[in-house]
Amino acid sequence: MMGFGMFGGMFFFWIILIGLAVLVVRGLFQPNQSDRGSSKTEPLSARQILEQRYARGEINQEQYQLMLKDIQQ
């Protein structure tokens, strides 16, 4: 029985090389999760930030109402 030999080793070398190339190309052309909050988009307004904090439960309804009243002035 003959093993993979030189040609088998070259085959695996090219498979690995092509796989790495595919990963690099995908990484270059697909946006990352961290790019969503980049400077390409408009910054959030104070009201939007407040609404997000309330939705996450960081502030309660009373705090939300007071802060909302404060930013509307």
| Per-residue model confidence (pLDDT) at position 34 | 58
Delimit the domains of the chain by residue range: 44-73
| Per-residue model confidence (pLDDT) at position 1 | 45
CA 3 – CA 12 distance, rounded (Å): 13
| Per-residue model confidence (pLDDT) at position 40 | 64
| Per-residue model confidence (pLDDT) at position 35 | 52
Give per-residue burial for 13-33: e unless 16+ CB within 10 Å, then b: eeeeeeeeeeeeeeeeeeeee
Return averaged pLDDT per consecutive 10 residues of the chain, 73 residues in all. Answer: 65 90 87 58 91 95 94 85
